[in-house]
Amino acid sequence: MYELTGIPSTDLLASRLAATQQTTISRLQPLLPRLPGTAVFSHTTAYRILGIPLPEHYDLRDSTIHVSAPDPRHRRHRITGVSWHIWPLLSEPDSFVDIYNVPCISPTHALAQMSMHMEFGQLVVSGDTLLCRNSNLRRAEMTDFRQLLHSRFKGSCRFSRMLPLLREGTDSPKETELRLHAMRFGLPCPEVNFPVNTRGHVNHADMGYPEFKVILEYDGLHHFTSREQWERDWEKRNRWIAAGWSVFVATAATLASEDALIRYFRDVERALHANGAEMYVTEPPMSVWELSDRRRHRN
């Protein structure tokens, strides 16, 4: 399930993560005889073994190998380059997996461990990556997250507040960021990856408001460096526009600037109003932490 083999070269992210997985496992195998039977690789080391994209920013050193054990008595000191952690939840079912005979904490437990090591918005982005649409990279279901809701661990409050903001079937971390920004600026959560049928062609929009024929797209660097990708994107968008859809494309520059974001969402707001929606952009934007207030997600 977690072994990244036979990945097509066209799946650029999965190919890159497969290479990282193999390199990491080769680096770790000599350590296995020195670890107690209860220990597993964890934190960012687990991300690399599991084929999970690392968040953009976190407060752990990249060169460190992270190992967790359920009990302090199980630690082995003086292994150069290894940082030991205690994770009592390793006694729970499905808390760890074996990948190429390398013991590794499970994806949702790895995310739980990382919940105190990254900014809250990045935690939501990382949660979405586990639920992504790509079958090669999907690592969890929402039920897996909910199993940890009643567990106590460092960061459990942040973990539980993250859950209402997660969406299944996303395509990229940057698309998640764009969705969160839409909500920060007061718009309802956009629907993700919904199908649009135009002239007999069915394509999925990154996100948007299908009831009001408004689409929000994110174009990463590969959209510009691959001519085929670029041409496919604009062919489908031209069909959407011809069919009466409003299409708004964001880039890395859009996400990097609050001024650019407000201009972007004001344009989205105008298109929504033109199609009868009563949705309004608000300033100043909320923080992602404020968005996670459960009182906002009732009903």
Q: What are the structure tokens assigned to 103, written together?
A: 């013991």
The pLDDT value recorded for residue 11 is 86
Query: At 272, phi and psi to the nearest 5?
Result: -65, -45
Residues 109 and 239 in one domain: no
Please indicate, yes or no, if residue 35 is contained in any of the structural domains. Answer: yes
Instruction: Please give the mean pLDDT across all residues of the chain.
Output: 93
Residues 148 and 89 in one domain: yes
Read off the pTM.
0.93
The pLDDT value recorded for residue 74 is 76
Residue that is last in its domain, among 165, 200, 215: 165
Residues 134 and 62 in one domain: yes
Residues 198 and 241 in one domain: yes
**Structural domain boundaries, residue 267:** 173-288
Residues 122 and 187 in one domain: no
Residue 299: band (very low, low, confident or very high) from pLDDT cuts 50, 70, 90: very low
DSSP-based three-state secondary structure for 120 = helix
Mean pLDDT of 200-214: 96
User: What percentage of the chain carries pLDDT values higher than 70?
Assistant: 95
The string of pLDDT tens digits covering residues 212-253 is: 999 999 998 655 456 787 888 889 999 999 999 999 999 999
The pLDDT value recorded for residue 112 is 98
CATH number at residue 237: 3.40.960
Residues 138 and 156 in one domain: yes
The pLDDT value recorded for residue 1 is 76
User: What percentage of the chain carries pLDDT values higher than 90?
Assistant: 82
**Which bin fits 246, alpha (ψ -120 to 50), beta or left (φ > 0)?**
beta
Residue that is last in its domain, among 122, 148, 165: 165
Mean pLDDT of 57-81: 88
Please indicate, yes or no, if residue 235 is contained in any of the structural domains. Answer: yes
The pLDDT value recorded for residue 225 is 55
**DSSP letter string, 134-184:** -TTT----HHHHHTTTT---TTHHHHHHHGGG--SS---HHHHHHHHHHHH
The pLDDT value recorded for residue 10 is 74
Residue in 56, 62, 76 with CA at minimum distance from that of residue 23: 62
Percent of residues in the chain assigned helix, strand, coil, to nearest 5? 45, 15, 40
The string of pLDDT tens digits covering residues 185-200 is: 999 999 999 999 998 8
Residues 84 and 126 in one domain: yes
Please indicate, yes or no, if residue 205 is contained in any of the structural domains. Answer: yes
The string of pLDDT tens digits covering residues 37-55 is: 899 999 999 999 999 999 9
